[in-house]
Amino acid sequence: MSSSVEAITVLSSDGDEFKITVSAAKLSKPLNWMLEDVCFSDDCDEVPTIEVNSKTLVKVIEYCEKHAPRANSGASDSDAEELKKWDIEFMKMDVKDILFHILMAANYLHMEGLYDLACQTAADLMKGMTVSQIRKIFHIKNDFSSEEQEQLRRQHPGCSFD
């Protein structure tokens, strides 16, 4: 691999171009493979496509760039603590709308850390909610008959469902 290459260009599934640094791409095996292909290929003009939409890919690349220094060189505990705080903020932003897209992208790109973070964030959205709030947040239609609902309440002693 040529050491002069510091960043590569990739296409999102919507056809937009994005730049990702070599060190950041190393966080994902599939991205890393693409990178090697690009660098070794004679036809360097070819831009690989990542099957992730633009809105999601921006976030994924942002995550990679932030985590790359630590993943590549190791880091102190205070750095790890700082990174944890950053993760929480990263997931707090207007990202909610694309949370599940990020989760799927992290899976597709073999990014364990981001995948776990997305799962935890999704679960946190469910915590402390009532059944009706859950239905509202996640756009779920109640398909139980009233008998079934009554039976469920009996089965779950100690749970509040209001």
Positions touching another protein (CB under 8 A) are 96-100, 103-104, 107, 115, 119-120, 122-124, 126-127, 129-131, 134-135, 137-144, 149, 151-161
In whole angstroms, give the CA distance from residue 133 to residue 110: 32
Identity of the residue, 1 or 137, whose beta carbon is nearer to another protein in the bound complex: 137
Query: Could you tell me the smallest distance in angstroms from the CB atom of residue 113 to another protein?
Result: 13
Query: Could you tell me the smallest distance in angstroms from the CB atom of residue 83 to another protein?
Result: 20
Query: Could you tell me the smallest distance in angstroms from the CB atom of residue 102 to another protein?
Result: 11
In whole angstroms, give the CA distance from residue 46 to residue 61: 20
Block residue for tokens 């946190």: 124
Cβ distance 81 to 129 under 8 Å?
Answer: no
Identity of the residue, 68 or 117, whose beta carbon is nearer to another protein in the bound complex: 117
The count of C-alpha atoms lying within 13 angstroms of the C-alpha of 149, restricted to the half-sphere facing its C-beta, is 10
Query: Where on the phi/psi map is residue 72: left (φ > 0), alpha (ψ -120 to 50), or beta?
Result: alpha
The candidate with the shortest Cα–Cα distance to 50, out of 119, 101, 126, 96, is: 101
Identity of the residue, 76 or 155, whose beta carbon is nearer to another protein in the bound complex: 155
Query: Could you tell me the smallest distance in angstroms from the CB atom of residue 23 to another protein?
Result: 28
Identity of the residue, 2 or 155, whose beta carbon is nearer to another protein in the bound complex: 155
